[in-house]
Structure 1
């Protein structure tokens, strides 16, 4: 676990570096803008959905108000649980800057030969979003059937998302240096520490406010773990 502790320590040293703050502000504005547009769009769609009708006007108004309230609550509940991949997609646009900042300061002799670019990073982040959303939906029956088993739903939730976040963020860093197959081989050789790093990210994504900076911290942490394990850079 020494590489993970070192990665966390070094990431903490750069939290207020200019590139980190720049990505945080740009990513935050982009993410919030997308959420607002999605919310307004969902409300416009709901306006075209036929409402409940009754001979009693007060009852009709009450039921329609309840339905609108439920839709709003559902929107924000879904947003809470899937904020990790959603924010990753938008902040990924700027992750090259974060990784460059980390490598410039700590690993100047092993900098990546190329930046992935907005398109490639957006593709990797969108693919991560797809896997997280689909797989979390697919395991819902497990939560229902085994809700009586102590901590079982929590274990499944954290293990699944820790694996996906660890894999997704590691790949965004590693493919700058290695081919996709070689990156996969290297990830498997340190799967324990990558899974633990994914668990740290999953827990932080559950904390309001803090979750806003997790994509940045996650990318920096994975960059450190890649270099520390690949080049024994301690």
Structure 2
């Protein structure tokens, strides 16, 4: 597990992966620039009250709202944009580290994006439901966070990688047999997403990490060696 994580971090030196990171974050920044311009235009059309301090307060609150939304949503938006490139990320990692592998099954951007949207929605909803537990149990909340998000992230990233090599029926069968392994991998991935700044590149590291885990399992786990 640690070896796979180390190799995934080392893969960040791959120029192709750095280009994906740069492009994804640039698209996220461009999206927020559109948001900033839109809100600036909206605030510009707010009818002045005639009270200088009231108008100044409205402008200030509007600016602070934009900054707060940027700080809160940028990691999520960056992650979602980067999610469109997960198949490409996996392909680049395989080409660099496993050059003898046969060509993988193509996974469309639509399928990958749907998976990321499903993951994002499930993560938001379930974590909101778990919010009272996070607040009521200050120490146990770390365990709850890791357990919940480890399952969600581990399953999703496992399927993204496995679907490139296995038929959907085989993926479901293998997923059940390797549940503990990908679950532990998911806990590691959840840790990456929980660290500020690191979470901006977490999808790339998580995908590379799962590729290394999956290829390791294919070589060592008896019921996977046939694939």
TM range (shorter): 0.7 to 0.9
Q: TM-score, normalised by structure 2?
A: 0.79
Q: Size of the alignment, in residue pairs?
A: 221
Structure 2 equivalent of residue 179 of structure 1? 167
The answer to which of 189-198 and 66-75 deviates more is 66-75
Q: Is 2:22 aligned against 1:25?
A: yes
- Is the Cα contact below 8 Å between 2:43 and 2:59 reproduced in 1? no
- Is the Cα contact below 8 Å between 2:105 and 2:163 reproduced in 1? no
Q: Is 2:217 aligned against 1:229?
A: yes
- Is the Cα contact below 8 Å between 1:104 and 1:111 reproduced in 2? no
The alpha-carbon deviation at position 12 of structure 1 amounts to 3.2
For residues 139-178 of structure 1, the C-alpha deviation after alignment (integer angstroms, 9 at most, x for no partner) is 23434xxx34342333323322222222222221111112
Structure 1 equivalent of residue 128 of structure 2? 137
Q: Distance in 2 between matches of 1:163 and 1:220?
A: 18
The answer to which of 165-174 and 112-121 deviates more is 112-121
Q: Distance in 2 between matches of 1:135 and 1:49?
A: 37
Q: Distance in 1 between matches of 2:100 and 2:141?
A: 44
Alignment of 1:80-229 (within 5 A): 83-84=75-76, 86-143=77-134, 147-229=135-217
- Is the Cα contact below 8 Å between 2:79 and 2:200 reproduced in 1? no
Structure 1 equivalent of residue 12 of structure 2? 15
The alpha-carbon deviation at position 223 of structure 1 amounts to 0.9
Deviating runs (4+, > 6 A) in structure 1? Answer: 46-51
Structure 2 equivalent of residue 34 of structure 1? 31
Give unpaired runs (5+ residues) of structure 2: 222-227
The alpha-carbon deviation at position 44 of structure 1 amounts to 5.1
Give unpaired runs (5+ residues) of structure 1: none
- Is the Cα contact below 8 Å between 2:151 and 2:183 reproduced in 1? yes
Closer, same or farther in 2 for the Cα pair 1:151/1:40, shift >3 Å? farther
For residues 165-195 of structure 1, the C-alpha deviation after alignment (integer angstroms, 9 at most, x for no partner) is 2222222111111233422332232333323
Closer, same or farther in 2 for the Cα pair 1:140/1:9, shift >3 Å? closer
Structure 1 equivalent of residue 66 of structure 2? 72
- Is the Cα contact below 8 Å between 1:87 and 1:215 reproduced in 2? no
